[in-house]
Structure 1
């Protein structure tokens, strides 16, 4: 096994999945719920702006891609660490996945403190 600092993001995601497979369903459900909330919030946030230079199309495409992956492969990702890591920790989806881990892990401190510590250890969050 390579030293942690030389382990790829995909490798770290696979480790997290192997250590805490029981956390994956709740994490994916949370990610899907956060996607829905973000998608509903964006139009409200942009309503009052007079001048907007943002890459909303890129953000929307990223969110749709992440949502499609979660909905299409969600149940399979519960059991398959490779699928979980390769689908959510590659390309731009890894930005959204990282955001979700940052948000989700602290909520697990009381229920499963070791999961929160593992996220912090593996991803430096």
Structure 2
């Protein structure tokens, strides 16, 4: 196993999936719901967008890309760590997926160990 410093987002997501398989369906629902909210409230979100790094267009594109992966692979994302990690956490999609994962852990998950794992793997503050 790689050291945490040498793990990619794909590696981290795959590990998270393997350690907490019961959390993944809820996380996928949260990510999908976030994509839907982004699509349904696109105008309002674009008008108030103030992210210091990512443009609204970039974030919208990542949201659509993630939504498409969820539609394409469905329940397989919950059961297959490789599929989950590659299609949601590879490349620029990782920005959106990591953001959703951190928010899910903070706001929705009841599992303190999952929250700690997400903090260890994905929080950079």
TM-score category, normalised to shorter length: 0.7 to 0.9
Aligned pair count? 119
**Counterpart position of 2:71:** 71
5+ residue gaps in structure 2? 49-53
Query: Aligned equivalents of 1:12 and 1:46: distance in 2?
Result: 31
**Counterpart position of 1:51:** none
Query: Aligned equivalents of 1:104 and 1:45: distance in 2?
Result: 20
1:102 Cα offset (Å): 1.8
**3-state SS in 1 of match to 2:74:** helix
**Counterpart position of 1:2:** 2
Q: TM-score, normalised by structure 1?
A: 0.83
Query: Aligned equivalents of 1:102 and 1:60: distance in 2?
Result: 18
Q: Deviations over 1:52-103 (max 9, x none)?
A: xx95544433221110101211300111101000000112211110110121
Query: Aligned equivalents of 1:124 and 1:56: distance in 2?
Result: 22
5+ residue gaps in structure 1? 49-53
Larger radius of gyration: 1
